Amino acid sequence: MSPLDRKRALRAELVARLASQLDAARDAHQSAIEGATHEQARAENDKDTRGLEQSYLARGHSARIAELEVAVAAAGALALREFTVDQAVALGALVVVGEDERQLSYFVVSNGGGETLAGGTVQVVTPRSPLGVALIGKQAGDVAKVRLAGRQRELEILEIE
């Protein structure tokens, strides 16, 4: 499989994951709306806030839905390209790094940070995350230094696809 085909497959998997999260958020939003408008949610006295709490929950779900709609659209529209050996890590790069005798792969995209793809072998990283900030602009052979979970890590950039 070519690097570009591999990234297409990763993008498709990420879009599917984000779309699944969007569906779940929509279901949760609908449940919260139903809970807020159900006759049993009516306040029985001035201290009864069940309906109000459900409406706040529905509003939160609505905001999450909007975020996920943007994420799904952005991931689906992500332009993919092959990187040459002299190019730096940028959006759309699949970066292979070495750390402590092991290799890790990161897919740098605008949304979906933290997701793992390809059976757990590729982690999604956004340019806004500490790891993304450390990787962006680095070239093969460079070392990216980043502090994660209270630990200083040094990641050698082995390959950029």
Question: Each residue of 38-93: pLDDT tens digit?
Answer: 565 455 556 555 556 767 777 888 899 999 999 999 999 999 999 998 999 999 99
3-state secondary structure at position 42: coil
> Rounded distance, CA 140 to CA 95, Å?
9
Residue found by looking up tokens 């402590």 in the block: 100
Which class would CATH give 94-160? alpha beta
Sheet with 102-108: list strands edge to edge.
116-117, 122-125, 102-108, 94-99, 151-160, 143-148
Domain boundaries, the chain: 3-77, 94-160
The verdict on pTM exceeding 0.75 is yes
> Rounded distance, CA 58 to CA 139, Å?
45
pLDDT confidence of residue 45: 57
Asked if the model's pLDDT at residue 115 lies above 80, the reply is: yes
